[in-house]
Chains A and B, each alone.
Chain A
Amino acid sequence: MLTRGLFDKLLWLALLVLAAALVLVVVRAAGSSESAGSKVLDKAMERAMTYQSRVALIRELYGPVETLLQAGQDQSALLKLAEIEKTYPGEAHGQILKGSIQARLGAIDEAVASYATGVKLRGDYVDKENPLSRRTEIGRVVESGLQTVSARLAANPDNRTAQATMKQLYYLQSRLAGGCE
């Protein structure tokens, strides 16, 4: 007959055995470099590798555009971007490069719209430490844009293009300011 006292003693014993087993399992796993479980679960490593692959793919994909840009062939670079966009629609990097070219050509409204679209798609471009960061470049465009576009708006408050650009500028300004996003 299993009395309550004996049952309780068995439960305490089971608790001790389970605790000892837990410690043993953890200590053995920590001492072993070939723990199959940790390999399966190392999501952080997988995540880092995926990200690096993405950066490498972007550099390869948009390499020709960068080359054209360095050669000062902005129009050809825009055409190349349009060509890539057909294969990879909605890719943020293309929008950022487009913004960069448009800013160089002085098309501020279009540049701001492209930058805003790119940053909305991927916030990497406004990070301080990111291999894809374009923070300084975007910050410069936002700073000059806020002055020129607000002057245009002051002269003509009903200018819808300027209103839309101002909204995008505030968005970019907010993203550059930081926050938990």
Chain B
Amino acid sequence: MSSPPLSRTLWIAFFVAPALALMAIFMLAPALAAFSYALYDWKAFSRGDFVGFKHFIRLAEPPYRGMFLAALGHNAITFLVKLTIQNGIALLIAYALYQRPIGARFFRGTLFLPVILSLVIVGYLWQLFLHPLFGPITLFMMDIVGLEQFAPLGDSRFALATTILMSIWRNVGFPTIVFLAGMNAIPDEIIKAARIDGANDWQIFRRIILPNLGPAFTIIVILTFIGAFEWFDLPFVIGGATGNPANSLDTMALMFFRLSFGDTSSPVTDVGLGGAVSVVLFAIVLAGSKFGADYLRKREVKA
């Protein structure tokens, strides 16, 4: 029955090769290509001279520095708000569902429904809700609450917050399901033991359930981080390639898109600078995920 090690190795290679080839062609190669783009000058989409780190230096100087830092700031705010509010809400809902209230299955399904909606639809849906003339939320704020006017998506002070809220509405079902699965994975006997030991519901939540959700927290924090720093879709649907109003929705991904492919107001493209943005974005996400994952894993409980 024992097969020689060589044929075993060949078999393993045989099964691994297709996946490896796909990864190389469609993920590794484009990533390396993007990095190389940043090192050249471009005229529209035709490559010019090799210029080394010129585009990275341009990115570090005005006017692009301010634009990039503002975009990075929006990404960071998005991350912090989603990390605390979206995941906080998800944790509360998950705990409520964990108690198996009447209709738990219905609520679980309903909460998850927006997650499978296309983000473009979510964006337009909320633009309709918030339409400055006939949006139901606008009418409610003006007629019932009594505001003079209500147009948060047109106001650079509120646009980002409003868009983040939309994103939370759309995505909260996902961490909810992950937390719920984590809670359900805690053996019943442990909860019973805690109850007999005299712990009340809050103490069980705080001392038993929360600490045992470590793996769920790790994956959710990392996914929230990646999602927030690569955020593109909703800002694009709401504010276009410039992140209107007044660049208040600009993100790093949006900036990369605008520089590489142009936008409606300026059709000029700057692929080299766009490439530099994408490389910096990639480095931030890679480093953040790596350090985050390492740190969070260390804190998880080894059962």
Is B truly associated with A? no
